[in-house]
Chain A
Amino acid sequence: MSHAWIVLEQLESIEAMSTSKKLITREEWEKKLRDVKIRKEDMNKLVMNFLVTEGYVEAAEKFRIESGTEPEINLATIADRMAVKKAVQSGNVQDAIEKVNDLNPEILDTNPHLYFHLQQQRLIELIRYGKVEEALEFAQEELAPRGEENQNFLEELERTVALLAFEDVKNCPFGELLDLSQRLKTASEVNAAILTSQNHEKDPKLPSLLKMLIWAQNQLDEKASYPRINDLSTAALEEPTI
């Protein structure tokens, strides 16, 4: 009988321990934050890196003038890349392809996935503007061979071609392919490929920092209760929950 009581008692005390997380008040937290030193130059570099990678040429130029931060690559080369990205975002895929090939003919030759997605986008644009006959011919001449060259493309190919079977394309099962977000996806892919070909990192550093922040907060959640940042866009400190 007494043995059972002892066991229960031990269990209770363990539970008590696990609920007692350290509590850090807002004042304590803000004080600790103030003690951490961050350099302005580092932040400027992060901003410049973001602008350059995403391709905001004018903003990057202005930022360079106003902050004195040197971009890591020549701003002139960004202009070419931006022209390509814009072309895709506007649905002028053929134009985008020609521009990429002028910039660097190796990119599409060595990136089969990207090339396929560009061709796919072309087909989507033809369907969007109701050019059914042209779309059919294009699918046969240009997209079908991609499927033959590489089995991995077949599934996506089928989904795209299936659009041709529907009258009301916007509301059919694969209708999301017609969203503008699809164009942005393709544009992003092209952007990354061009950056890589120029020996530049294809992703900006800023997202990595934010991911690190979220991960660190999740880790800390297990040990302490503290003012969290829940909205990354405002970076506002929430009151710690007890």
Chain B
Amino acid sequence: MPTKAASNRPEDLAARLGEVSGVAKGEALLKALREVKNQIIGNKTKKRRFLYLGAVPKIVSVLAAADSDGGDPAIIVQAVAAIGSFACGVEDGVRAVVEAGAVPHLIRILSYPNEKVIDAGARSLRMIFQSKLAPKYDILQNKNMVFLLSLLNSDNENATELAVRIIAHSCDNNDEQNALRDAGVLQRLAQLLEGSLNQRVASLGSIAAIIRNNREVAMTFASIENGKALSALTELIHDRYPRTRYLACMCLIAIGQLSSYACDLQTKTNLLLVLVELLEDSGEVGDDSPFALLDIITDNEELQLQAITINVLEKLCNYLEKSPIPLRRLEGILLALAEFCSKSETCRCQLISPQFLNIIVDALKNESTGVRIAACTCIRNISRSVKNLCAGRLSNERVIVPLVRLLNDTSNSVQEATLGAICNLAVDFTSQKSALVKYGGLPLLVQLSKSIVPMLRLKSLCALRNLMFIANRIGKENIISELTIPELASLICDSEHLVQEQAMALVSNLIHGCVDFIRLVFAEDGLIINAVIRQLKNDSATQVCIQGMLLLCNIAAGDESHKDAVLGYLMPSKTEGSNSLMIRFLQSKDQFLRTAAMWCVLNLTDPDSVNSPLRVRKLQEEGILFQIKTMVNDPWLDCKYRVRKVLEQCMVTQSTRCEAQVGCS
């Protein structure tokens, strides 16, 4: 007897398949197919070997032959099972099967008059439709829908499950979702929620696909049989299998977001508890659950407070202390904790304790980009705790050094997230020299202010502006000498108006409280002041004009020459002939711009300044005082009070001048 092993080598088998696959009959073919099937099931290595030998098209041709002349059911079953196995767990296998045109044949044999054949076909198709590479099944074609429904409502469990998988795979847009809803598919899926484990899991996946981003369909589902379907779904969040619990949570979350159902506090609290408990799962479900948790608590302050009272925050923190935590899971937990800290002082105080802060700071050095970003977001939100910020709890080497290092990170997103945290941490009242500057953050921030990425320019400028706010004289000098005046001037003229705004605010902070720094604004041929005026004269965004006016206001808090210079800029030039900047801003619809302009006038007409009377007369001549008088009842209180104060000041100045004149004559 010849040794079986030799003649059943893949190469020989594949060759034999080629010889006999012209028809779907024959003992030799049956044996060959069965042997191939038994070799590849469970064996990825063998699958790849047979794929390489071109076995798949040969096997598919057997199916094709069966189409035309009936074929032997036993052979068809073996061929179909082999095809299904090729598509199981090997991407290249799915590709080969689909490219060989297996799918239409498999669908055709679902109508074969033999239960075993149907079963085999349904199983194999189900395997194929579990992969993203499966072809799209066009539900909108009527005959396809009819066939799909017949599968869905069939008694054959394999056929039903196949239909459910096809639905999950093939409904991408609203039209398809609506068509499925109209065909009554939701009711059947709801029934399957009470079936076997496989049916529950598959059904949940399909329900999620059909209701995705579709309000009406979500509402339809929730109202099936007066909410019976919704109840069945809700019960599944307590199912014994973690995957079912997770999928049920996802469905409920979607329904809660799309409709007026399942969005009450009690439901959300239950979801929270289930999702937190799912963290204990060691598999994929445990990795995904923190993201679902993040989803429901985002921007929901009421739920966040509730979560704290039921110890969800505590459980998350305790979980953090386990190690090692899978990277994706760690990212999710940190993001969830960051969200809790975004508004809750209680959370911030809890996470700032060394026990947890150390874990978050360590995460700054993690290999995963997502984890680093999440850790930065955490720190940014924790630093919103003003009292802790002021107490300097975050201004130590342990926190600042890794953050500063991240300014050089290879990922722009990480840099952006770091800047978010640094922006807050720059507000450091605790020492003369800011910790950020001490640990080398300044050159890096300045470097980022020159980045080609607008968001990085913006956020680094924001941080520099905050540093400038806090700094003493020497600190301010350091910053400006690192940044340089020409650079600052070009940022004032940046292509992004948000950047322009921050740059101007930075200059405002520079000169605030340090009158002798005003010269820097006029230095180097007035680079900065010219840039500011240019922006004000252009049709700049309102916010930019506001910052510009506030800056001019600060300059006008200087000496006489400064005030005269500011007045000069705000008056109309003879050559221009247009309305002066001052009038334009005073007439603005934006209350803050009007107010900023008034602050400026207030400084220009300061009764303690020697040249104020001259300036008041100028304002009178250019019709600005007239404009101001019309604003006596400005609807914005801040503005109104400035107007009244200015008019008071002007009257005092006028009377002083009158007195002087009287004295003279």
Is B71 an interface residue when CB atoms closer than 8 A count as contact? no
Closest chain B residue, CB of each to CB of A116: B42
Closest chain A residue, CB of each to CB of B123: A106
Kindly state the separation between the CA atoms of A114 and B81 in the bound complex, as whole angstroms.
Answer: 19
Kindly state the separation between the CA atoms of A111 and B123 in the bound complex, as whole angstroms.
Answer: 16
Which residues of A sit under 8 angstroms from B81, Cβ to Cβ? Answer: 101, 105
Closest chain A residue, CB of each to CB of B124: A105
Bitwise, B379-397 to A at CB < 8 A (1) or not (0) is: 0000000000000000000
Instruction: Decide: B198 and A108 in contact? CB cutoff 8 A.
Output: no
Task: Given A106-B127, A115-B42, A199-B196, answer yes or no on A101-B37 (Cβ-Cβ < 8 Å).
Answer: yes
Q: Which of B37, B43, B196 contacts A145 (CB 8 A)?
A: B43
Kindly state the separation between the CA atoms of A111 and B41 in the bound complex, as whole angstroms.
Answer: 10
Is A109 an interface residue when CB atoms closer than 8 A count as contact? yes
B98-134: which have CB < 8 Å to A?
A: 120, 123, 127
Is B475 an interface residue when CB atoms closer than 8 A count as contact? no
Instruction: Decide: A109 and B42 in contact? CB cutoff 8 A.
Output: yes
Is A148 an interface residue when CB atoms closer than 8 A count as contact? yes
Is B85 an interface residue when CB atoms closer than 8 A count as contact? yes
Which residues of A sit under 8 angstroms from B42, Cβ to Cβ? Answer: 108-109, 111-112, 115
Is B497 an interface residue when CB atoms closer than 8 A count as contact? no
- Number of A-B residue pairs with CB-CB distance less than 8 Å in the complex they form: 47
A121-161: which have CB < 8 Å to B?
A: 134, 137, 142, 145, 148-149
Is B332 an interface residue when CB atoms closer than 8 A count as contact? no
CB distance from A106 to the nearest CB of B (A): 6
Instruction: Decide: A98 and B198 in contact? CB cutoff 8 A.
Output: no
Closest chain B residue, CB of each to CB of A100: B41
Instruction: Decide: B44 and A149 in contact? CB cutoff 8 A.
Output: yes
Which residues of A sit under 8 angstroms from B43, Cβ to Cβ? Answer: 115, 142, 145
Which residues of B sit under 8 angstroms from A171, Cβ to Cβ? Answer: none
Instruction: Decide: A199 and B88 in contact? CB cutoff 8 A.
Output: no
Kindly state the separation between the CA atoms of A105 and B127 in the bound complex, as whole angstroms.
Answer: 11
B38-97: which have CB < 8 Å to A?
A: 38, 41-46, 81, 84-85, 88-89
Instruction: Decide: A109 and B41 in contact? CB cutoff 8 A.
Output: yes
CB distance from A47 to the nearest CB of B (A): 24
CB distance from B5 to the nearest CB of A (A): 8
Which residues of A sit under 8 angstroms from B45, Cβ to Cβ? Answer: 145, 148-149
Is A18 an interface residue when CB atoms closer than 8 A count as contact? no
Is B219 an interface residue when CB atoms closer than 8 A count as contact? no
Kindly state the separation between the CA atoms of A214 and B331 in the bound complex, as whole angstroms.
Answer: 43
Is A110 an interface residue when CB atoms closer than 8 A count as contact? yes
Instruction: Decide: B89 and A109 in contact? CB cutoff 8 A.
Output: yes
CB distance from A220 to the nearest CB of B (A): 28
Interface core residue of B38, B88, B89, B198 (most chain A CB under 10 Å)? B38
Is A97 an interface residue when CB atoms closer than 8 A count as contact? yes
Which residues of A sit under 8 angstroms from B127, Cβ to Cβ? Answer: 106, 109
Q: How many residues of chain A get a CB closer than 8 Å to chain B's CBs? A: 19
Task: Given A145-B43, A148-B45, answer yes or no on A101-B88 (Cβ-Cβ < 8 Å).
Answer: no
Which residues of B sit under 8 angstroms from A101, Cβ to Cβ? Answer: 37-38, 41, 81
Bitwise, B395-426 to A at CB < 8 A (1) or not (0) is: 00000000000000000000000000000000
Kindly state the separation between the CA atoms of A78 and B85 in the bound complex, as whole angstroms.
Answer: 25
Task: Given A105-B84, A105-B123, answer yes or no on A98-B38 (Cβ-Cβ < 8 Å).
Answer: yes
Is B520 an interface residue when CB atoms closer than 8 A count as contact? no
Instruction: Decide: A105 and B41 in contact? CB cutoff 8 A.
Output: yes
Interface core residue of B43, B81, B127, B197 (most chain A CB under 10 Å)? B43
Task: Given A105-B84, A105-B85, A145-B45, answer yes or no on A199-B123 (Cβ-Cβ < 8 Å).
Answer: no
CB distance from A127 to the nearest CB of B (A): 17
Which residues of B sit under 8 angstroms from A97, Cβ to Cβ? Answer: 38, 41
Kindly state the separation between the CA atoms of A110 and B89 in the bound complex, as whole angstroms.
Answer: 8
Interface core residue of A97, A106, A109, A199 (most chain B CB under 10 Å)? A109
CB distance from A27 to the nearest CB of B (A): 42
Which residues of B sit under 8 angstroms from A98, Cβ to Cβ? Answer: 34, 38
Which residues of A sit under 8 angstroms from B120, Cβ to Cβ? Answer: 105
CB distance from B221 to the nearest CB of A (A): 25
Kindly state the separation between the CA atoms of A52 and B509 in the bound complex, as whole angstroms.
Answer: 82
Instruction: Decide: A109 and B88 in contact? CB cutoff 8 A.
Output: yes
Which residues of A sit under 8 angstroms from B44, Cβ to Cβ? Answer: 145, 149
Instruction: Decide: A106 and B88 in contact? CB cutoff 8 A.
Output: yes
Q: Which of B5, B34, B37, B198 contacts A199 (CB 8 A)?
A: B198
Kindly state the separation between the CA atoms of A16 and B41 in the bound complex, as whole angstroms.
Answer: 67
Which residues of B sit under 8 angstroms from A145, Cβ to Cβ? Answer: 43-46
Bitwise, A36-54 to B at CB < 8 A (1) or not (0) is: 0000000000000000000
Q: Which of A108, A137, A142, A199 contacts B41 (CB 8 A)?
A: A108
CB distance from B78 to the nearest CB of A (A): 9
Closest chain A residue, CB of each to CB of B120: A105
Kindly state the separation between the CA atoms of A139 and B84 in the bound complex, as whole angstroms.
Answer: 27
Bitwise, B23-40 to A at CB < 8 A (1) or not (0) is: 000000000001001100
Which residues of A sit under 8 angstroms from B37, Cβ to Cβ? Answer: 101, 105
Closest chain A residue, CB of each to CB of B47: A109
Kindly state the separation between the CA atoms of A105 and B43 in the bound complex, as whole angstroms.
Answer: 12
Q: What are the nearest 9 A-B pairs in CB distance? A: A115-B42, A108-B42, A145-B45, A199-B196, A105-B81, A109-B88, A108-B41, A101-B41, A109-B41
Q: List 19 A-B contacts (CB under 8 A).
A: A98-B34, A101-B37, A105-B37, A105-B41, A105-B85, A105-B120, A105-B123, A106-B84, A106-B88, A106-B127, A109-B41, A109-B85, A109-B88, A109-B127, A110-B88, A149-B44, A199-B196, A199-B197, A199-B198
Other A-B pairs, 4, CB within 8 Å; known A115-B43, A142-B43, A199-B198:
A98-B34, A105-B37, A109-B88, A145-B43
Contact surface of B with A, Cβ cutoff 8 Å: 5, 34, 37-38, 41-46, 81, 84-85, 88-89, 120, 123, 127, 196-198
Contact surface of A with B, Cβ cutoff 8 Å: 97-98, 101, 104-106, 108-112, 115, 134, 137, 142, 145, 148-149, 199
